[in-house]
Chains A and B, each alone.
Chain A
Amino acid sequence: MKLAVASGKGGTGKTTVATNLAFVAASQGRSVAYLDCDVEEPNGAIFLHPQIEEDRPVGVAVPKVDADKCIHCGKCGEICQYSAIVAMDDQVLTFAELCHSCGGCELVCPVGAISEDQREIGRLQAGRAGNVQFVQGLLNIGQAMSPPLIRAVKAAAPPADMTVVDCPPGTSCPVIEAVRGAEYVVLVTEPTPFGLHDLKLAVETVRKLKSPFGVLINRSDVGDLQTRAFCDRSRIAVLAEIPDVREVAEAYSRGVLAAEASAHYREGFDRLIERLDKEAAK
């Protein structure tokens, strides 16, 4: 089962749900892979304490221009939609950080003056956290584009009975990249006006991607009843409601998994996994 844990609003408990799911499923004897695709701010490692066995740079292709071959026809600048290559009368300038690696400039150059270079955008780290196979991406500081790194993290996923993708917040390209290909999406929210507003956006996003999904309401006793009402009205499965418990919040603040801190939570995640098995089989 390939699961994505996403949210719309940040800070609703995505990483809490994803890491606990991975930990509890692994302790049931399943083979589990946890992929931290929140590459701008990855936090899964704080809770899973992985032993990193592999650490390598991830690059993207950017153009390199051979000035001796260039005939200044201007085609490269014409095809580029991102202003990453600008053809002037006497020289060609490249702006690697704007490049989306589409390969257009190299294809269009009539004299083969453009080749591809690699530019590092982040690192990929993989290893084991107990029985969980762990992979994370770390975007380099100052890099704007995370989707290629998210793609690399997903490509490095080891085969497993259960794959848990911890997604970035929001609804734009990084989220799409992380959620793409998931067999089931768990949307984590909190029952506040901000949480509900962003949940509605997240629901529209996963509907557009045609992924089956359900909602988990975290800190369910804080806020109001509108989120539950929205899910019921829209016939969205509510997978679980997790109350706000101070001992769990404190465990979180220290980097301890809720399922380790509380037997009650551990049982809650056992039930959630059972529910996900059923939902994914539908």
Chain B
Amino acid sequence: MTGYIVRRLGMIVPILLGVATIIFLLMFIVPGDPARLLMGQHGDEKVLENIRREMGLDKPVYVQYLRYIAKLSRGDLGVSYRQKRPVASIIRERFPATAKLAVASTVIAVIVGVAAGIIAALYRNRVVDWMVMILSLTGISIPVFWLGMMLILVFASGLGWLPVGGYGRSGDIRHLILPAFSLAAISIGYIARMMRSSMLEVINKDYIRTARAKGLSEKAVILHHALRNAFIPVITVIGINFASLLGGAVATETVFAWPGLGRAAVDAIRVRDLPVVEGCVMFLSFIFVLVNLLVDLSYAWLDPRIRLDGRKEA
């Protein structure tokens, strides 16, 4: 098991190197000069030359790339062209906000989605099932920014229960409620559907019949025997979903003025702030690999028959 974890962690290095290279090339293919953009519409040539020199943009592309990789290998993510401060500190500032939102919306999505999925499975082809399925489809289909605006109109502007947007002071959960719910909508839909189909599959298995036959209560059968086994595919959905939320949710962050990583990355793309884009994407890749590893590890925990290191069970 330890060997497996070490191997998986070791793969992070080539993955990050690949990501860094792809982003670097993409940012060079996309037209737009970061130095020029700093100046506004009046790009005085002499001033421009000076800015390019200070940023190292006057060097050939391959020199810039090698310099960047060399810096990366020392753990230095570079300095933002526009904000003129270390990318690491930008990520450090944004990540707590992103994590807070990701955790809150995942918790909501898991509680609501799993419950809805189980209920739908238990009442298969009945009105409750249809309602859950229609609602989950709606959740998946509604554009996040529209849902966000509607939540704001109803709960903030209309009823005045919650603030319209913004991060609020630390520890103020009122600001978190609306963005977390609007972000959870899609995940609830996916989780509910996945939970339902997985549950239906498990419920028809022999061991469930056995459990019922030996006189266990329905609650024990569902929660103890069926749920645990039905959970494996759902865990994958939850994990990937959570990982992508940790990379930032641009639309939600924009609508609710939430200072997350997604907004930082998109704003950086808009002004061709290469170091920030690179930093954000690499951080996201890192998180993705890590969360995927955790998901795989959880399989083994949920189902002891699954051996991750590839050896057959003795």
A, B from the same assembly: no
